[in-house]
Amino acid sequence: MTAQAVAGRPISEGRTQAIVALMALAVFINYVDRGNLATAAPLIKDQLKLNNTQVGLLLSAFFWVYAPGQVLAGWLAEKITAYRALSLGLGLWALATLGSGLAGSFAVLLALRLLLGLGEAVAFPCSSKVLAEFLPSHRLGHANGLIGAGLAIGPAVGTLLGGLLIARAGWRPSFFIFGAVSLLWLVPWLAVTGGVARQAQAQRSARAPSFAAILRQPSLWGAALGHFAANYTLYFVISWLPTYLVKARGFSVAQMAGIGGAIYLVYAASCLVCGWICDRWMRAGGSDTRVRKTFMVTGHLGAAASLAACAVAGPTGALASLLAAGLFFGMTTPNIFAIGQTLAGPRAAGKWMGVQNGLGNIAGIVAPLLTGLVVDRTGSFVWPFAITGAVSLLGVIGWGLGVARVAPVVWPAPRGAPEASL
When pLDDT is averaged across residues 248-258 and rounded to a whole number, the result is 77
The per-residue pLDDT for range 16-41, each reduced to its tens digit, is 788 889 999 999 988 888 777 777 87
Q: Where are the alpha helices (DSSP H) in 204-252?
A: 211-215, 218-243
The per-residue pLDDT for range 324-374, each reduced to its tens digit, is 999 999 999 999 999 999 999 888 888 999 999 999 989 988 888 899 889
> Which secondary-structure segment (H or E) carries 21?
helix 13-47
Q: Which CATH class is domain 14-402?
A: mainly alpha
Instruction: Check: CB of residue 391 under 8 Å from CB of residue 374.
Output: no
Per-residue pLDDT band at 8 (split at 50, 70, 90)? very low
Going from N- to C-terminal start, the domains of the chain cover 14-402
Looking at residue 333, what is its pLDDT? 93
Per-residue pLDDT band at 202 (split at 50, 70, 90)? low
The per-residue pLDDT for range 363-380, each reduced to its tens digit, is 988 888 899 889 889 988
DSSP state of 401: I
Instruction: Check: CB of residue 192 under 8 Å from CB of residue 15.
Output: yes
Per-residue pLDDT band at 287 (split at 50, 70, 90)? very high
CA distance 336 to 316: 31
CA distance 162 to 174: 6
Q: At residue 416, does pLDDT exceed 60?
A: no
Label residues 239-270 b or e (16+ Cβ within 10 Å = b). bbbbbbbbbbeebebeebbbbbbbbbbbbbbb
Looking at residue 56, what is its pLDDT? 76
When pLDDT is averaged across residues 210-238 and rounded to a whole number, the result is 93
Looking at residue 5, what is its pLDDT? 47
Residues in CB range of 132: below 8 A, 6 or more apart: 341, 344, 345, 346, 349
The model's pTM: 0.81
Kindly tell me the sign of the dihedral angle through the C-alpha atoms of 397, 356, 261, 60: negative
Per-residue pLDDT band at 414 (split at 50, 70, 90)? low
Other beta carbons within 10 angstroms of residue 412's beta carbon come to 9
DSSP 341-378: HHHHHHHHHHHHHHHHHHHHTHHHHHHHHHHHHHHHHH
User: Nearest-CA neighbor of 125 among 350, 339, 386, 375?
Assistant: 350
Q: pLDDT above 70 covers what percent of the chain?
A: 91
The per-residue pLDDT for range 64-116, each reduced to its tens digit, is 888 889 999 989 988 888 888 999 999 999 999 888 888 878 888 899 989 99
CA distance 346 to 150: 23
When pLDDT is averaged across residues 154-169 and rounded to a whole number, the result is 76
Looking at residue 412, what is its pLDDT? 81
